[in-house]
Amino acid sequence: VAVALARRIQVQVNWHEFVELGTLGIDEIALTKGRANFVAIITTQQADGHVALLAVLPDRKKATVRQFLETIPARLRPTLHTVCTDMWDGYANAVKEFAAAHPDVSLAVVIDRFHVAKHYRHSVDQLRKREGRRLKQTLPEAEYAKLKGVMWILRKNNQDLTPAERQKLRLLFTYAPALKSAYTLREELTAIFELALTKEQAKQRLKKWCAKVRRSRLTCFDTFLKTLNNWRDEIVNYFM
């Protein structure tokens, strides 16, 4: 895949094929695993849901993305209403500068829900690993054996658990109550993103969730809370 993408690196778009842009997606992929040689993938989602690849940029620098955005014809600029991206400053800043430079552009930057979930689920994963090591050291071998596979069960969404998996989780939570709290908070945040909320309602829900995290005195979400605070507007734009 990486080789194929490398061969397709290009920024020339046949704009005549498009009558609208709608939503742009900006993401990246590393051409070589373990190396920071990212290329930026630019796509567009049309009103009918069709997704088209526009360009594969040679890097994910702000200047490169901004240069590409400037190639959008004037007739298409007003049809662009949303840019969906991850939490990479270069992308968001390139889009905002582009919009500020063109009075006919009015758009919202939306952080992809997948990337938000990746961050807060990682918070619980880190606690899961710490608690797993602790339980292995402190529980009798026979008792710890009963928890085999439970740490991976913990990664599943609650609604997808089987009765047997729920029973094993309950056993885990008797030994690791902090993990139960973190898991519950993770599921509550996921549920918020499943609701049909207005932006203002979403802000209030997220504010209450953050307050609940702080009252829990869990530290595993500390980094995510900072991320949420820094990107709150763009994250809440998901609820438009």
pLDDT at 5: 46
pLDDT higher than 60, residue 10: no
Name the band, by pLDDT with cuts 50, 70 and 90, for residue 158. Answer: confident
Strands (E), the chain: 22-30, 38-45, 51-57, 80-85, 108-111
In terms of average pLDDT, the best of 8-12, 58-62, 229-233 is 229-233
Residue 170 neighbours by CB distance under 10 Å: 10
Condensed to tens digits (0 to 9), the pLDDT of residues 130-148 reads: 999 999 999 999 999 999 8
* Spatial contact of 107 and 95, defined as CB atoms under 8 Å apart: yes
* Spatial contact of 21 and 44, defined as CB atoms under 8 Å apart: yes
Residue 161 neighbours by CB distance under 10 Å: 15
Condensed to tens digits (0 to 9), the pLDDT of residues 208-217 reads: 999 999 999 9
* Distance separating alpha carbons of residues 191 and 74, to the nearest angstrom: 40
pLDDT higher than 50, residue 3: no
pLDDT at 48: 79
Name the band, by pLDDT with cuts 50, 70 and 90, for residue 107. Answer: very high
pLDDT at 33: 65
Average of pLDDT values for 104-116? 93
CB neighbours of 66 closer than 8 A, spacing ≥ 6? 94, 97, 98
Condensed to tens digits (0 to 9), the pLDDT of residues 67-96 reads: 999 999 999 999 999 999 999 999 999 999
Read off the tokens for 174.
């008797």
More confident site: 30 or 239: 239
Read off the tokens for 63.
């200047």
Condensed to tens digits (0 to 9), the pLDDT of residues 178-227 reads: 999 999 999 999 999 999 999 999 999 999 999 999 999 999 999 999 99
Name the band, by pLDDT with cuts 50, 70 and 90, for residue 52. Answer: confident
